Amino acid sequence: MKQTQPFYVRLAISLVCLVFSVLILREASALLIPLFGGFLLAIVLLPLVHVLERKGTSRSGASMIAVSCFILAFFTINYFLTAQLALFSTELPNINNKMQEMFAGLQSWFSSKFHIDQAHQINYLSSSFKDIVTWITGFASRLVLYLGNIIVWILFVCIYAYFILYYRRLLVRFVMKLLEKDYPDQVQHIIRENKKVIKEYIVGLLLEFLIVLLLSFFALLILNIKYAMMLAIIVALLNIVPYLGIYTAVLFVMLVTYANSTGTAAIQAAVALLIIHFIDALFLLPRIVGSRMKMNPFITIIAVITGDIIWGVPGMFLFIPLAAMLKIIFQHISSMEAWAILLDEDKPVKKKKRTADQG
């Protein structure tokens, strides 16, 4: 007779495995983040590779062309955004003049309200300005380093994606050989469903980006804000960065709007963008991205926060498909079905109809 271990023993083993998994994910993040990103990119590019191979292109050539198309699209978008941002540089003198006017108005208000002369105000602002400059200098250095890391990260993602596409049949045979003894009938279903889920996740992110872009554009257009389309693109891109992204975008839009219009218009633009952000955070992100991953919004939010804790900003995006892949695996393992139910959508339970004998 097969003996079942007590619940507290199974719970302790699960917790130990969870702790070791988190430690491995954190310590090997430099390898795992671009590797998993390359895996996602390979899944997205796989249909293009299939089309090229059917037209007679070799597997190596098809993989190289697909990855090259992604690199070309990435640098095209980057060039377009850089060119658009260059247009904003013409607004810097206006922003500087507006800020000087605003500080002059604040000094007059403090002098009349609190009876503090402008000499004391200038001394206080000078000491505060030194701290601000020091912080900005450090932040700029970290930002340059972070941008450099992103370029290196994209490079490794493309390299991994190429090799995954080229050796995809070998990798599938490896997984099937590894698991066919314990789960002979489930491996094919797991591989097929995971490919579908990843594609739908990328589609969900793109759909969310387009909706935020259109909502921001029409809101700024209605408010008659200059550079509405360019500002909407910046807002939609920065909105992808959780937490600080949208607030950075709002401050940027306020500065540009204030330089070209009035303070009232800048505040109106900020309020409109914050409303769009809350709509996105409460409805679009959990329902569009989370529903395409077939997970409930609560688990989607937990996956984002957990990804931030373990892998930082990249983990906020990568942990959602990772959680969805785990859910699919759990669904095909009888001992893990309870976890699959926790990750799944809240589906209504159909009540059985009573028969005549049951009254």
pLDDT of residue 359: 46
Residues of the chain with confidence (pLDDT) below 70 = 1-5, 8, 81, 84-85, 87-149, 184-185, 241-244, 286, 289-294, 346-359
- Give residue-wise pLDDT tens across range 277-316: 888 877 777 677 655 566 777 777 788 788 888 887 788 7
| Residue 181 DSSP code | T
- Give residue-wise pLDDT tens across range 249-258: 888 888 778 7
pLDDT of residue 347: 61
Cα 242 from Cα 317, distance rounded (Å): 9
- Residue carrying structure tokens 């190289």: 64
CB 68 within 8 A of CB 48: no
At 287, list the tokens.
């329902």
CB 321 within 8 A of CB 293: yes
- Residue carrying structure tokens 């591989």: 191
276 by Cβ neighbours in 10 Å (0-12 / 13-18 / 19+) ranks as buried
Task: Convert 53-66 to b/e letters by CB count within 10 Å (16 or more is b).
Answer: eeeebeeeebbbeb
Taking only Cα atoms into account, the Rg of the chain, rounded to an integer number of angstroms, comes to: 26
pLDDT of residue 336: 76
pLDDT of residue 231: 86
- Give residue-wise pLDDT tens across range 199-249: 777 777 778 888 998 999 999 999 988 878 888 888 887 777 655 677 878
pLDDT of residue 161: 93
